[in-house]
Structure 1
Amino acid sequence: MAAFGVIIGGGLPFLAVAQEDAARFHHAPLSVDDVRNPFATQANAVDAGKALYAAHCAACHGASAQGNGNVPSLTGTKVKQASPGALFWFISKGDINDGMPAWNSLPEQDRWNLVSFVQSLRAGADAPAKSVATASMTPGHWPAPKAPFTDFRYESPGASRKITVADLPAPYATASAGNAPQLVARPADTWPKAPPGFKVELFADGLDNPRLLRTAPNGDVFVAETAAGRITVFRGITADGHPRETHVFASGLNKPFGIAFYPAGPHPQWIYIGDTDQVVRLPYKDGDLQAAATPEPIVDLPHGDGGHATRDVSFSPDGTRMYVSVGSATNVDDPDTTPTEKHRADILVFRPDGSDMQVYAYGIRNAVGLAVDPKTGELWCSVNERDGLGDNLVPDYITHVQQGGFYGWPWWYMGAHQDPRHAGKHPELASKAIVPDVLLNSHSASLQLMFYTGEQFPADYREDIFAAEHGSWNRSARAGYEVIRIPRHGGDRATGEYQDFLTGFVLPSGQAWGRPVGVTTASDGSLLVSDDGSNSIWRVSYPRP
């Protein structure tokens, strides 16, 4: 079950009407509030719903319904205030355009039991158990992808790919799939795969929703454990590839994701954290393993019970600008008529003290990852594009960001391609919509990106881009679930090609055991990859004779 959370729709002609309608849970009709749950008093209703949730919903919404990256929590205010009839109505109807499949194929009692379970949830609810892959599970029968598009069956470390706008199919060339990740435990004989010459080790496990990774100037590695509301720090690497020390740097945060050290250079004074509702900072000096003070709020950010929750933070090389990514509140709603989209689907820019907010670039549905090119000082981003137009639309992308640039969402995509759900709107923006540098397989869910500046990998990897592809629910045969490399061949920009680098997170059955999120360079030049599917961090090294 994907994107069950609060996603406010638009398209109404008058703002006042839109605001009134937004108060309704997913625009549920008033009549459903009178519908009662006929199975609510049954003793096993909640337990039955819990089992159904684990089978159908946990892969997207998280084992404890806490949300999973860009999929909202089910314990938020809007869900808790919704009537049983409204919840049943939305579970049954879904909204494929806003990321929620219809579950009317489930028996009516099952859907009501899901309602009972959702209404029983509280903060910190017990987690439904993960399902475990078995040898009897049968692979899906998916047609072979048409080049240059691909899926998990054909991902292979070192394989090169290049997608151009000329390759894009028409909208709805295929149906819009509802294919949740079906997350399973990693089989004992399964391991991520890297190109020849590289070695993959399990760096750390037993984490709680490890997401973005950043390396401090002194070599300590920080990870945002988003669901746990904390930042953890690792120091050193042992001979067998594990951290020498592990410490909780800060806790009590609100869905932390972005991490940035300020100012640039070997001796930062602050660590900035992108919570979902604000940017905060903590005093920091080299070697700190625990925050010495409580977080200081720097700037409030648009947020809500639904929509994209991740906020990354990065600074210009001269330290005068703080970039913050804020994803859209919806899949493709019109900001003209959807108040919750104000200052969302943007990259915002501030002074480091949070003042002088401006929109740096817009029409960027969800720039999960930000990074500044250490060679040129240019800002780059990694973007989740929209759902609902078919398997191969719209490509996710990685690009350098033009100040003042418009990247299309929600009216246009990949230049002057109009989203049919907004036909005829904003024709004046068609020529302004920028085609990104690197088009990725659609529904890959591209998350953190980084520039490799280490010395351990072969020389031709220097200053190339690595990015984590988390994988999505909106594709019939999964794509993403890997780490990619974008070679720049010594240049400042990308040529449009990318390569599979770390693969193997999906089983032949189509079930996923791992979902890459964060990437960073460790102090020894190895690559660390966070995986919130197996709650692990992987280490990729290039041993030399």
Structure 2
Amino acid sequence: MKSTCPNRPFASGMALVMLLATMPLGAFAQNAANLQDAPAADAAAKNPYAGQRAAIDAGRALFAADCAGCHGASAQGNGNVPALTTARVKQAPAGALFWFITHGSINNGMPAWSALPDIQRWQLVAYLQSSEAGAATVGAAQAAAPTAGDWPAPMPPFTDFRYEAPGKTRKITPADLPVPFATPSAGNAPQVVARPADAWPKAPPGFKVELFATGLHNPRLIRTAPNGDVFVAETHAGQLRILRGSTPDGHVKEMHVFATGLNEPFGIAFYPAGPNPQWIYVGNTDEVVRIPYRNGDVQARGKPEHIADLPHSHGGHSTRDVRFSLDGKRMYVSVGSASNVDDPDTTPGEKHRANILVFRPDGSDEQVFASGIRNPVGLAVDPKSGELWCSTNERDGLGDNLVPDYITHVQEGGFYGWPWWYIGAHQDPRHAGKHPELASKAIVPDVLLNPHNASLQLTFYDGEQFPADYRGDIFAAEHGSWNRSARVGYEVIRVPRHGGSRASGEYQDFLTGFVLPNGQAWGRPVGVTVAADGSLLVSDDGGQVVWRVSHAAR
């Protein structure tokens, strides 16, 4: 998860409350590992201002002034910041909320706020647990939006949304990295607004962008089936949706709900490889399941079958992607960390997390394929070489320009640094002196992206519609920052491979324009897939839509 909000000290303290949004109600006094040993006596404390009109009003004002930048004007959450309007927060013991605001989570970059007067901490608890939390209007969010003049120009080779432009090439190297804390760690969560009538994604010359599908429910990872149907994981809705066909004007012809009742589904894989798969594998947050499938099915033939348990907890990164080796003998599963920089040596909840796991297709023979990868959200297998690649969200809390997210081929048995090291032998100061023997083993990834880009799904372009020099290149969705003072990401990028099997370190902006000049975001790319006709489809969970990018010459 992300960390702090500079210049708004209490907002960074409030960010720790996001842990509570995903905790079961009974865990506050019982789950010491996840909740940092909140004493039962503290959890049992009653809010002396609960339900009082003056306290709720004061709490609302505090939240609007100091917390909305991270948690959204209506406490709805943004991207990696969970909502604070859930029943779990509203029904939690008031003393537990107060205790976490007071003590913080230092390892995750969220400081303690014991210096804040008790009455203000209780007022915030009163507001969060009232029926009024979540009632802020979009107009209020827009009124509070920052202006472009608030941000200094970025220091090259780093950038931000103001300088993103289709076709612009970028390259970041380890030598470009600043020292930790060169800038404060920001909390600048997007307040997603409706797309203005004159706003549209921008692509390089020769490409056309169309609104392919609308009315989706949190569309996340998106993959194309062998028969050309496009499957979308609607994660928060717990379901998979099918997009079938396209009209002459570039819109989807049919939409069907394929399966429901899933637990935060994300990864989708068809098995076995080839034109006639028999199963769809789904990466739920806590397990891999498979569903019987034949080409053309628009509804699941049967109930999901459990294949493998996955590490999970109430909190941390929930996405689990699933891919198969070209020979079909190995199943790769990505599992993100449960925290920002918690030490796995002392945090049992991090066991087998921040890893890419590998199984047999039946779920047996679980092993760690690669480790130290904080959140390998997207997986892809090179259709020619068979090498596994991943798209990674690196850690936060070290400043605007640390630590770069990355895209890389993944070495079996490789260690990529988290949490002790990053981008080779750069030690995280929050773990100073730990594991010096791992410094030389930390692998430098192939392509360093702007820090806090939130790089999600990636895919190899294997279509024939785009120009020939795009064949075999990588496209990746950059969901966008909230741990940076000026937004970055909110785009789709291209990683050119120049006809080879590896990347040379540079990447290009490809699809941009999802952020308005005042910094408000109206779209957030999540997934990318190549459609049967060779166009590129992009899911956008900010606008709840799927975009289609085609090459105009075709």
With normalisation by structure 2, the TM-score equals: 0.88
Residue in structure 1 matching 2:391, options 368, 373, 382: 382
> Could you list the runs of 5+ residues in structure 2 that have no partner in the other structure?
1-13, 21-28
More deviation, 310-319/176-185: 176-185
1:30 Cα deviation (Å)? 6.5
Q: Partner residue of 1:40?
A: 50
Question: For the residues of structure 2 that align with 1:69 and 1:460, how far apart are their CA atoms?
Answer: 33
The structure 1 residue matched to 2:125, chosen from 97, 111, 115, is 115
How far residue 407 of structure 1 moved from its aligned partner, in angstroms, is: 0.3
Note the residue ranges of structure 1 that are not aligned, 5 or more in a row. 8-18
Give 1:6's match in structure 2, choosing from 19, 40, 47. 19
Aligned counterpart for 1:326 among listed residues 332, 335, 355: 335
Note if 1:499 corresponds to 2:516. no
C-alpha root-mean-square deviation of aligned residues, in Å?
3.2
Q: Distance between the aligned counterparts of 1:78 and 1:152, measured in 2?
A: 35
Change in Cα spacing, 1:76 to 1:424, as seen in structure 2 (3 Å) is farther
Q: Distance in 2 between matches of 1:57 and 1:280?
A: 38
Structure 2 Cα separation of the partners of residues 475 and 353 of structure 1? 42
> Which residue of 2 is the match for residue 86 of structure 1?
96
Q: Is the Cα–Cα contact under 8 Å of residues 78 and 189 in structure 2 kept in the other structure?
A: no
C-alpha contact (below 8 Å) 1:48/1:113 kept by paired residues: yes
- For structure 1, which segment, 279-288 or 185-194, has the greater mean C-alpha deviation from structure 2 after superposition? 185-194
Cα offsets for 1:217-250 (capped at 9, x unmatched)? 0110011110110100000011111110000000
Tell me: CA distance 1:469–1:450, structure 2 relative to 1, closer, same or farther (3 Å).
Answer: same
Q: 3-state SS of the aligned residue for 1:282?
A: strand
> What code does the residue aligned with 1:87 have?
L
Aligned to 2:179: 170
Confirm or deny: 8 A CA contact 1:51 1:128 kept in the other structure: no
2:448 corresponds to:
439
Structure 1 residues 61 and 381, CA, compared in 2 at 3 Å: closer, same or farther? farther
How do 1:205-224 and structure 2 match up within 5 A? Answer: 205-224=214-233
Q: Is the 8 A contact 1:69 1:310 kept in 2?
A: no
Residue matched to 1:246: 255
Q: Distance in 2 between matches of 1:135 and 1:338?
A: 38
1:360-381 residue CA offsets vs partner (Å, 9 max, x unmatched)? 0000000000000111100000
Which residue matches 2:345? 336
Q: Which amino acid aligns with 1:268?
A: P
CA contact (8 A) 1:257 1:273 kept: yes
- Which runs of structure 2 are paired with 1:119-518 in the superposition (5 Å)? 119=129, 130-131=138-139, 133=142, 138-518=147-527
Q: In the alignment, residue 233 of structure 1 is paired with which amino acid? A: I
- Structure 1 residues 55 and 523, CA gap change in structure 2 (3 angstroms): farther
Closer, same or farther in 2 for the Cα pair 1:54/1:79, shift >3 Å? same
SS class of match (1:483): strand
Q: Is residue 3–residue 72 contact of structure 1 (8 Å, CA) maintained in 2?
A: no
Give distance in 1, aligned partners of 2:51 and 2:135. Answer: 23
Aligned to 1:15: none
Q: Is the 8 A contact 1:260 1:313 kept in 2?
A: yes
SS in 2 for 1:87: helix
What letter corresponds to residue 259 of structure 1 in structure 2? I
Match of 1:11 in 2: none
Structure 1 residue 104 displacement after superposition: 9.4
Q: Report the alpha carbon displacement of residue 115 of structure 1 after superposing the two structures with TM.
A: 2.6
Q: Please report how far the alpha carbon of residue 304 of structure 1 lies from its aligned counterpart in structure 2 after TM superposition.
A: 1.0
Contact 2:201 2:513 in 1 (8 A): yes
Percentage of identical aligned residues: 74
Q: How many residues are matched?
A: 532
8 Å contact kept, 1:259–1:272: yes
Given that residues 71 and 308 in structure 1 are in contact (C-alpha distance below 8 angstroms), is that contact kept between their aligned partners in structure 2? Answer: no
- Cα distance, 1:85 vs structure 2: 3.2
The alpha-carbon deviation at position 534 of structure 1 amounts to: 1.2
Equivalent residues of 1:130, 1:183 under 8 A apart:
no
Q: Which amino acid aligns with 1:6?
A: L
CA distance 1:190–1:489, shift in 2 (3 Å):
same
> What is the deviation of 1:427?
0.9
TM-score by length of structure 1 reads: 0.89
1:96–1:388 Cα contact (<8 Å) kept = no
AA matched with 1:5: M
CA displacement 1:100-154 (0-9 Å, x = unmatched): 5889999987764553454468xxx988654564699633521111110001111
- C-alpha displacement at 1:535, in angstroms? 1.1
Q: Once the 2 structures are TM-superposed, how far is the Cα of residue 197 of structure 1 from its aligned partner?
A: 1.3
